[in-house]
């Protein structure tokens, strides 16, 4: 997902040019172990692209983290600690990078994973919700089954920006009898105030916060 300057919504899909140099500095530890003498800084795997995809947008790309096992393993480890604090029964991931992050976390903690998708992407019986964005509206859908016992649900995505999609996902989870126990994000753009749109009293865990 893109990261952006305030008041400008970033696109959810983007990649980093392969020809650019590695974002990992030479001093980065050679082991993914959290006990290394030199701590691993997740920001080292986030690359910034000014004025992309248009002037005025600062695009923050986590593709370098995806392709380096050290950064990826550290991200999963830190999200795992948040997961242990919140004690969910199910991980719900938001399309599309929430699938990548969420399935990695669910696998690491041996938990079920449930995707929240754009309309028309899920077969069978689904619940859906329409919600408002900065410049229009959108819709999300989730399968009806898998929530029969009212499980505790952790919503996971790569980025918290304005919070509209995460808030809609929280509402969608409640329609299928899930008990929302928290949100977990890799990155958060605090200046956009996304936390204010999320349900009151629900914990929010962000690994990297850009003030």
Task: Grade residue 3 by pLDDT with cuts at 50, 70 and 90.
Answer: low
Structural domain count, the chain: 1
Q: Which of 97, 117, 141, 188 is catalytic?
A: 97
Report yes or no on 133 lying in a domain: yes
Task: Grade residue 192 by pLDDT with cuts at 50, 70 and 90.
Answer: very high
Contact 132, 161 (CB under 8 A): no
Q: Domain range holding 107?
A: 72-210
Residue 91 has pLDDT above 50, yes or no: yes
Mark whether 117 is an active-site residue.
Answer: no
Residue 5 has pLDDT above 60, yes or no: no
What is each CA distance from 196 to 39, 166, 180, 207, 211, in whole angstroms?
31, 11, 16, 18, 15
Report yes or no on 98 lying in a domain: yes
Q: Of the candidates 140, 134, 86, which has an alpha carbon nearest to the alpha carbon of residue 109?
A: 86
- Radius of gyration, CA atoms only, the chain: 17
Report yes or no on 19 lying in a domain: no
Mark whether 134 is an active-site residue.
Answer: yes
Q: Which of 48, 134, 171, 191 is catalytic?
A: 134
pLDDT tens per residue across span 142-159:
999 999 999 999 999 999
- Residue 104 is part of a domain; what is its CATH number? 3.40.50.2020
């Amino acid at each position: 997902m893109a990261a952006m300057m305030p008041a400008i919504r970033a696109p959810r899909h983007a990649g980093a040019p392969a020809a650019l140099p590695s974002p990992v500095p030479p001093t980065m530890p050679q082991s993914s172990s959290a006990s290394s003498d030199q701590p691993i800084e997740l920001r080292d795997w986030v690359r910034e692209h000014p004025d992309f995809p248009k002037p005025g947008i600062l695009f923050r790309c986590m593709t370098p983290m995806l392709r380096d096992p050290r950064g990826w393993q550290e991200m999963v480890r830190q999200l795992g600690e948040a997961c242990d604090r919140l004690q969910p029964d199910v991980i719900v991931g938001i399309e599309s990078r929430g699938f990548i992050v969420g399935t990695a976390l669910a696998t690491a903690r041996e938990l079920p994973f449930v995707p929240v998708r754009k309309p028309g992407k899920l077969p069978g019986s689904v619940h859906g919700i329409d919600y408002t964005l900065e410049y229009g509206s959108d819709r999300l859908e989730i399968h009806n089954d898998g929530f029969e016992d009212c499980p505790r649900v952790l919503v996971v995505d790569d980025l918290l920006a304005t919070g509209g999609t995460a808030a809609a996902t929280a509402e969608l989870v409640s329609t299928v009898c899930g008990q929302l126990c928290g949100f977990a994000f890799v990155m958060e753009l605090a200046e956009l105030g996304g936390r204010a749109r999320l349900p009151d009293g629900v914990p929010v865990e962000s690994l990297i916060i850009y003030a």
